[in-house]
Amino acid sequence: MSVSEPSDRLLTGARVATMVPGGAPYGLIEDGAVAITDGHVVWVGPATEAPCARRREDLGGRLVTPGLIDCHSHIVFAGDRAREFEMRLEGASYEAIARAGGGILSTVRATRAASEAELLAGALARADALIAEGATLLEIKSGYGLDRDTELRMLRVARRVAAERPVRVRTSFLGAHAVPPEFAGDAEGYLDAIVLPTLEAAAAEGLVDAVDGFCEGIAFSPAQIARLFDRAAALGLPVKLHAEQLSNLGGAALAADHGALSADHLEWLDDTGVEAMAAAGTVSVLLPGAYYTLRETRVPPVAALRAAGVPMAVATDCNPGSSPLASLLIALNMACTLFRLTPEEALAGATWHAARALGLDDCGAIVPGRRADLAIWDVRHPAELAYRIGWNPLAARIFAGETT
Ligand code: DI6
Ligand code: FE
């Protein structure tokens, strides 16, 4: 691409992992340069061919990747579930704790009692941890309010994260996360009285970018999720689903049939689900932090997803119960070690495919026209990002073209 005007900023001396698929592994350019103007990449290629720029910076051989994207998180919540961690170590299962009124519902009690300021403080602490490892875009869900006021409060807090920090946020409405105690045994009643009207209100306030649900024996049935998705479609909102995490209810195929952006977790996904996702172009979002924390023994069918060409994203699922993990780098490591992704697949899962899981094509790769949301790392090779554990090599982060 030729650039007639000098660009604002040129990064040289860079090893650039563009993450554009189909060429070199990681889309790697060994001695590369990236030109940025008005917050966007305007040129990327070999340093010897770089266009002129008003400002040049030599990165001394550091690695540049797209800013990381956490496409599945629950970072707005109050309280903690350390006691449940102890109970699980004493032998109680995640489902048994949930059925006894703990689990998600214990976080619901704490979240309902928390002010907007308290929720924001907690969310910012977790967002800061993700940002410190190069994240430039976070998906954030509601789902710990399960009443109108608290669900709306959670979504407002999620929006405020983007106002308070140099990070982009995409929100997902997850009113269908669990059935609250006041509707115990009446998921249908809860759906009609709270979930659907709150979704309408949240959408009217511009608080919702996508609609999510939890399709599981301890949560909502496929028929109930289908009703939720129909309402989302009527509002023009994309859908996604927590599916096949603890059992196989056919949630992934249901999501695919509704044109879902993604189906997430997927430990119990079967061939029918894989085929439906491939046909619909639904992204699989793998969440190894939840698999690890719950000591699951079934891994998602990675080989089948790969063979069918289903894109695989990787995310933290950061939440107080099943995945108290605020590190995308550790999620990448777990995706490799536990799920046998290659380091390249894992990194693509937190960049290229994560963008697609959010329905975005303006980020997740270093390509002219996309946003200049970048991470600069003190490593030689991109495989190092997934290889290390608890060792943050981020040297700098660029958000909308500015070092932040
Ligand atoms: N699946 C999960 O892993 C999280 N939500 C869901 O539907 C867990 C949320 C929690 O335990 O608080
Ligand atoms: Fe989740």
Enter the tokens of residue 260.
Answer: 């879902």
| Ligand 2 centroid, distance to 65 Cα (angstroms) | 26
- Ligand 1, atom 8, residue with closest C-alpha: 322
**C-alpha to C-alpha distance for 192 and 224, rounded to whole angstroms:** 10
Q: Which ligand is nearest to the CA of 177?
A: 1
Low-confidence ranges of the chain (pLDDT < 70): 1-4
- Ligand 1, atom 3, residue with closest C-alpha: 322
360 Cβ below 6 A of ligand 1: no
| Ligand 2 centroid, distance to 263 Cα (angstroms) | 11
| Ligand 1 centroid, distance to 148 Cα (angstroms) | 20
CB 295 within 8 Å of CB 85 = no
In ligand 1, the atom with minimum distance to the C-alpha of 290 is: 3
**C-alpha to C-alpha distance for 340 and 150, rounded to whole angstroms:** 39
Given this model, what pLDDT does residue 5 score?
86
Ligand 1 pocket: which of 104, 146, 154, 220 to mutate (most atoms within 8 A of CB)? 104
349 Cβ below 6 A of ligand 1: no
142 Cβ below 6 A of ligand 1: no
Given this model, what pLDDT does residue 1 score?
46
320 Cβ below 6 A of ligand 1: yes
**C-alpha to C-alpha distance for 182 and 150, rounded to whole angstroms:** 14
288 Cβ below 6 A of ligand 1: no
**C-alpha to C-alpha distance for 266 and 327, rounded to whole angstroms:** 21
**C-alpha to C-alpha distance for 190 and 228, rounded to whole angstroms:** 12
Summarize pLDDT for 371-381 with one digit per residue, the tens.
Answer: 999 999 999 99
**C-alpha to C-alpha distance for 147 and 190, rounded to whole angstroms:** 9
| Ligand 2 centroid, distance to 340 Cα (angstroms) | 21
Given this model, what pLDDT does residue 261 score?
98
> Please, what is the end-to-end C-alpha distance for the chain in angstroms?
27
- Ligand 1, atom 7, residue with closest C-alpha: 214
Contacts 24+ apart (CB under 8 A), 179-188: 179/146, 179/219, 179/220, 180/105, 180/108, 180/146, 180/147, 181/101, 181/105, 187/220, 187/221, 187/224, 188/224
Given this model, what pLDDT does residue 101 score?
86
317 Cβ below 6 A of ligand 1: yes
102 Cβ below 6 A of ligand 1: no
